[in-house]
Amino acid sequence: MGFSLIKYNTSIDFMRLRYYACALSLALLLAGVLFIGLGNGLKRGIVFSGGVVVQLQCERSVEVDALN
């Protein structure tokens, strides 16, 4: 037989471990909710870094709507 990650006659009882997996998932979920609630919460802003700033100087007064 060729290369395989799991041997041919391997028998793993995944259903026996389902309660442990659910308990671990629930514990991680609750820990995340607690850290968000007890910490500073979620950051709701979007910060853009980089980009280009263009400054224009006009000889006379220009309406802002005319620049669009």
Q: Are 36 and 42 in contact (CB under 8 A)?
A: yes
The yes-or-no verdict on residue 44 having pLDDT over 60 is: yes
Mean pLDDT to the nearest integer, 12-30: 93
DSSP secondary structure letter of residue 50: S
**pLDDT for 3:** 78
**Residue 65 clears pLDDT 80, i.e. is over it:** yes
Q: Assess whether pLDDT exceeds 70 at residue 1.
A: no
Domain ranges for the chain, please list them.
14-67
Structure tokens at 18: 């389902």
Of residues 13 and 67, more confidence is placed in 13
Whether 30 shows a pLDDT value over 80: the answer reads yes
Give SS3 for 59. Answer: coil
Side-chain-side CA neighbours of 10 within 13 Å: the count stands at 7
Highest mean pLDDT of the ranges 20-29, 33-42, 48-57: 20-29
